[in-house]
Structure 1
Amino acid sequence: MLDQTPVQIAWVTNDLTATETTLSALLGVTRWFRMPGVHFGPDGCTYRGEPADCSADISLSYAGDMQLEVIAPTSGDSVYSEFLERCGPGLHHICRDVGDADAFTAALDEAAHRGAPAVMVGTMPGGMRFAYLSAPESGVPYLEIAYLPPEIRAYFSHLKDQVNQEQN
C-alpha cells in the first residue's frame, strides 16, 4: 500500500522571523534555511488554471523527520496570498510525497475525481513537482502532493541532517 504519511507541515505568514521564532520555541527547532524570492513563473506553474507569476520567501527546518515550511508571499496571486487574505496567517497545508512522477499524475487525477481539484500546480528547478489540492467545503483548504526526484530528496536529507546535528 502507498505510504500516505505526511512529510511536511506548512504555515503561511506575513512575517517569517516571527513565525520561525514561535515554531522554534514550541518545537525546539534550532535552525532555519531561508530561500528568498522563490519565483513561481508561467513557464512552470499555474494558479487556478492560468499561468502563475508570483513569488514567496520560504524557510525550511525539521522537527525530527517532519519538514517544517514557513511561506511569506511577496508578490502576485497564489494559494499563499489567497490564504492570507481569506484566513490571515496560520497553518496552511500538509504535504505528502507520492513517490514517483507517474503516481503524481495519478494522484492529481484521483483527487479531481474525488472533488478536490488542484488549484496550483508546478515544477520547481530540480524537477520537484507539486500540486495544491483543495476542498474547502469539506474543511480541507489545501493538501499538497509532491514528487521529489532523487536530487531534491538528497537536498532535503542534507538540511535535516544539519538541523538534527544542531539539536543533539
Structure 2
Amino acid sequence: MSKPPVTQIAWVVEDVAAGERFLTTLLGARTWTRMPDVRFGPETCTYRGEPADFTAHIALSYSGDLQLELIQPVSGESIYTEFLRRGGPGLHHVCVEPADFDAALKDYAGQGIDIVQQGDMGGQMRFAYVDGAASGVPYIELAEVGPNMRRFFDQIKKDAQ
C-alpha cells in the first residue's frame, strides 16, 4: 500500500492562545480558527478500546499546504490528556489521509500497530490514531475527510494565507 503524504502536524498544548502565538512566530501561520469545547462522545469515539467521552479546544491554521493543529484538553480522558501527563506539551502527531481508510487501518493492525484512539465526527471525518513511537512521533493520525469538512478546511486555509 502506498503511503500518503503528511497533511497535518499537531501539538497538544496547555494553552491554545499561547500555542497560536508561538506557531505564528515559528511557522508564519497568520490566522487561526479556534473551536472551543469540541466534544467527542462515547457513541462515536473510543480510547484504548473503550468508549471515550472528552472535550478539547482545537485551533487550526496553515503553513503553505500543511495544516497546523493545536489541541488543548479540557475534560475527560484521551490520548491528549495522557500525552500531557507523560511529558507535557509538545508535538503529538502527524496526519495522513490514506486513499482507503479502512484498508489502511487493517494494514496497521496486520503489522501489530495498535489503534489507540478513533472516532467519527458526524460522518464528516473519521480518524484513528496509531502508535507512532517506532517512528519517533508519538502518534500517526489517519483521516478520512468528507466533502463538507474538506470545504471547511479549504476555507481555513484561504483565511490563513
What is the TM-score of this pair, normalised by structure 2?
Answer: 0.95
Alpha-carbon distance, 1:136 to partner: 2.9
Q: What corresponds to 1:12 in structure 2? A: 12
Shift of 1:115: 2.4
| CA distance in 2 between partners of 1:158 and 1:136 (Å) | 33
Aligned length: 161
Matched, 1:125 2:154: no
Unaligned 5+ residue runs, structure 2?
A: none
Closer/same/farther in 2, CA of residues 107 and 29 from structure 1, 3 Å limit = same
Among the aligned pairs, what percent are the same residue? Answer: 52
Q: Residues 62-141 of structure 1: matches in 2 within 5 Å? A: 62-99=62-99, 103-136=100-133, 139-141=136-138
Letter aligned with residue 56 of structure 1: A
Structure 1 residue runs of 4+, over 4 Å off?
A: none
The answer to whether structure 1 residue 154 and structure 2 residue 151 are counterparts is: yes
Contact 1:34/1:59 (8 A) holds in 2: yes
Judge which range, 86-95 or 123-132, deviates more. Answer: 123-132
**Alignment RMSD (CA, Å):** 1.4
SS of corresponding position for 1:7: strand
Matched-pair contact (CA < 8 Å) for 1:117–1:135: no
User: Closer, same or farther in 2 for the Cα pair 1:7/1:135, shift >3 Å?
Assistant: closer
In the alignment, what sits opposite 1:142?
139
Q: Is the 8 A contact 2:92 2:137 kept in 1?
A: no
Deviation at 1:154? 1.2
